[in-house]
Structure 1
Amino acid sequence: MTRKKVKLAYISNDSARKATFKKRKKGLLKKVSELKTLCGIDVCAIIFSPYDDQPEIWPSPLGVQRVLSRFKKMPEMEKSKKMVSQDSFLRQRIAKAYEQLKKQRKDNREKEMERVMFQSLTGSNVFLNMNMIGLNDLGLQIEHNIREICRRMETLNNIATMARPSNEEPSQQVEKSFGFDGQMNMEAMQKQQWLVDLMSTPPQQHFGFGGEEVMQPFADTINNNLWPNPFYP
């Protein structure tokens, strides 16, 4: 059974705070001892508390003096290279959390645009409720997907070209590229032909989604500089 996560906040109850201090202090000193043994490094610990008149010292006063003396002899740059204050630590955590938030927002926006694309393919008129920024995002997402399809097709073509022997007929090369010998898989060929037709069609016809009305590409009609977007830099 997993232990319940402890909320990192000041313990207002005196007895509970004292019990927690003793328990955590014992665990901390144990970890310091394990770190010294496992890694073979010089380490010391000094703990001040309101419950004792003298600070807790580990491993011994002489050992602490030896570690502190070695630390003071280090160049100033080396001493402060990995040291952080409470303020700088919090700033680093906030910056890291902000970057994670930006990444999550970008992922959510891409998934939202993909959902709109699939809805439009089913005949739903989802564009009526979208503003100009949303249409711009959708156009950029479509362009990204088209580039990805082109890249994957080029990669597959290069692999097929490198793998086939030069003395084979073109029909045999196509059959082997699809992974069968005698019987042609018509569905796979139709899919490949559809992709070829899609890539050979003029760009302004890619956005009609099978309807009668042909939409102009968003990236061509909208100046991206007028619509700055953090999700599609």
Structure 2
Amino acid sequence: MTRKKVNLEYIISESKRKATYKKRKSCLIKKTNEISTLCGIQACAIVYSDDEPHPEVWPSHFDVQRVLHKFEALPELEKDQKMLDQETFLKKRIIKAREHLMKQRNQNMKKKMDLLMFKCLSSGTIVDNNIDVSCFLWVIDETLKEVELKKTRDQSQSGIHVAENGSKSLSGEKEPVDAHVQLMMPSVDAMLKQDWLMDSVHAVGNEMLHF
């Protein structure tokens, strides 16, 4: 069962806030202990609370001082490289969320334009006059590139098959006279279909330019 996602915002209720503090503090100390033991590293935790006169430390005051002195001895560049306060952490989360949103929007637009393009090809007319022409033409160009790439790949694979069968004939194996022709026919049919698709897409693109 998945946990409910927690909103990172200040808890207004004092009782809930104190309960959350105790729970999270124990989890923080537990995780610090785990990472120190499992990875063999030096780690410490310092937790301040308005309700307590002194901060709580882990594992001990002496060990905390030792880790802090080692940290302070690091060069400034290395020391600041992974440091994050809550504000910086949230800013990075926001940037990542915006990048993900932009990527998802682009993917949705690409799928929408793909669907519209094939509707235009099947009907032979422009089915939506309110589309973004530049975006639609970009999708057409990308589709043409994919068609050309597939055609090149099919041609190279057909050449390999013909060469293999030719070598078998030279080695003395019996093969029908029209075997090479039969091998080439599927590729030719595929190329003809692809040429038809390219011509249709060009026609749709030219119609759209005259809006």
Please indicate the TM-score interval, normalised by the length of the shorter structure. Answer: 0.7 to 0.9
Tell me, yes or no, if the aligned pair for 1:139 and 1:217 is still in contact at 8 Å.
no
- Which residue is equivalent to 2:56? 56
2:206 is aligned with what amino acid? Q
- Which residue is equivalent to 1:225? none
**Identity of paired residues, percent?**
36
* 4+ residue segments displaced more than 3 Å: 85-88, 124-128, 166-171, 173-177, 188-192, 196-199, 205-209
Report matched runs for 1:116-195 at 5 Å.
Answer: 116-123=116-123, 125-127=125-127, 129-130=129-130, 134-163=132-161, 164-165=163-164, 166-167=166-167, 171-173=178-180, 175-176=182-183, 190-195=189-194
Report deviation, 1:53.
1.4
**Cα deviation code 1:133-188 (max 9, x no counterpart):** x22222221121111111012122223323432445894245457xxxxxx87xx8
Tell me, yes or no, if the aligned pair for 1:46 and 1:58 is still in contact at 8 Å.
yes
Tell me, yes or no, if the aligned pair for 1:44 and 1:67 is still in contact at 8 Å.
yes
Between stretches 159-168 and 9-18, larger displacement belongs to 159-168
Tell me, yes or no, if the aligned pair for 2:44 and 2:67 is still in contact at 8 Å.
yes
Provide structure 2 residue ranges, at least 5 long, that are not aligned to the other structure.
Answer: 170-175
TM value normalised by structure 2: 0.80
Report deviation, 1:71.
0.8
What secondary structure does 1:6 align onto?
coil
Report deviation, 1:115.
1.6
Report deviation, 1:197.
5.3
Report deviation, 1:33.
0.4
CA distance in 1 between counterparts of 2:36 and 2:15 reads 32
Equivalent residue pairs, number: 202
Report deviation, 1:40.
0.2
Tell me, yes or no, if the aligned pair for 2:46 and 2:55 is still in contact at 8 Å.
yes
Tell me, yes or no, if the aligned pair for 2:11 and 2:17 is still in contact at 8 Å.
yes
Distance 1:143-1:218 versus aligned 2 partners, 3 A rule: farther
Report matched runs for 1:1-233 at 5 Å.
Answer: 1-123=1-123, 125-127=125-127, 129-130=129-130, 134-163=132-161, 164-165=163-164, 166-167=166-167, 171-173=178-180, 175-176=182-183, 190-196=189-195, 206-208=201-203, 216=206
Tell me, yes or no, if the aligned pair for 2:126 and 2:208 is still in contact at 8 Å.
no
- Which residue is equivalent to 2:173? none
2:193 is aligned with what amino acid? W
TM value normalised by structure 1: 0.73
Distance 1:125-1:89 versus aligned 2 partners, 3 A rule: same
More helix by proportion, 1 or 2?
A: 2
What secondary structure does 1:46 align onto?
strand
Tell me, yes or no, if the aligned pair for 1:44 and 1:58 is still in contact at 8 Å.
yes
Report deviation, 1:198.
5.2
Distance 1:206-1:43 versus aligned 2 partners, 3 A rule: closer
